Amino acid sequence: MSACSQGHTEIIRMLLDIGAEYKKCNNDGWSPVKSACSKGHTEIVRMLLDIGADYNKCDNDGWSPVMWACSEGHTEIVRMLLDIVADYNKCDSEDIGADYNKCDNDGWSPIKWACIEGHTEIVRMLLDIGADYNKCDNDGRSPVMIACSTGHTEIVRMLLDIGADYKKCDNHGMPPVMIACSKGHTEIVRMLLDIGADYNKCDNNGCHL
């Protein structure tokens, strides 16, 4: 586990060659492949996947390897995981054995993490294979709302181009355009207004743009 986290590729190769355990998790539910994914050690991830590491194994917080790679922006690792059909809809929830579109707790999926961190290429990859771009978390926030909040203009554009719902409101009654306004993201506001976002919409407190 330590060698995976630190990126000691040759040591990992040596340990695997003599039969070291590569599926065992620590007390937090972290596996060697999860550690390598979170730190961006591409070659180690490849080695572990080649010998059968569980690429959908979640830790105690419900985080899977692909979720960590999306959050940290490790594009090549995300590509590897998706190429072997990693469960890209699995959410960081307690209910990790349930339907991978069903989330509890915070309900954040890989695409949501890629959106908030601004990893455009990873978002594109996930959209290309059919990730749910309208799935909301327990606060009612969708990927496009998250991208509007954090000001990632190109990601917002991608999501709108593919048909993301720009009229839906979060649990506070705020649609994407209001979220973008509150954060001062001018170009995103312009995009949303150009496609017909409601500029007279009020949130649950009666506030408008």
Structural domain tally of the chain?
2
pLDDT of 51 reads 92
In this structure, the answer to whether residues 90 and 7 fall within a common structural domain is yes
Low-confidence ranges of the chain (pLDDT < 50): 94-104
Show the CA angle centred on residue 165, arms to residues 161 and 168, nearest 5°: 155
pLDDT of 92 reads 61
Cα(88)–Cα(65) distance, rounded to whole angstroms?
10
In this structure, the answer to whether residues 53 and 148 fall within a common structural domain is no
What's 147's domain CATH number?
Answer: 1.25.40.20
pLDDT of 96 reads 38
Last residue of one domain, picked from the residues 113, 132, 151: 132
In this structure, the answer to whether residues 111 and 140 fall within a common structural domain is no
In this structure, the answer to whether residues 171 and 73 fall within a common structural domain is no
Residues 6+ apart with CB under 8 A from 150: 115, 116, 118, 183
pLDDT of 85 reads 61
In this structure, the answer to whether residues 13 and 76 fall within a common structural domain is yes
pLDDT of 76 reads 95
Last residue of one domain, picked from the residues 132, 164, 189: 132
pLDDT of 86 reads 60
In this structure, the answer to whether residues 124 and 160 fall within a common structural domain is no
Last residue of one domain, picked from the residues 102, 132, 162: 132
pLDDT of 89 reads 64
pLDDT digits (tens, 9 = 90+) for 150-190: 999 999 999 999 999 999 999 999 999 999 999 999 999 99
pLDDT of 2 reads 82
In this structure, the answer to whether residues 141 and 39 fall within a common structural domain is no
pLDDT of 44 reads 95
In this structure, the answer to whether residues 169 and 89 fall within a common structural domain is no
3-state secondary structure of 148: helix
Domain hosting 155: range is 134-209
Please state the pTM of the whole predicted model: 0.84
In this structure, the answer to whether residues 121 and 163 fall within a common structural domain is no
In this structure, the answer to whether residues 105 and 138 fall within a common structural domain is no
pLDDT of 192 reads 98
Residue 13 DSSP class: H
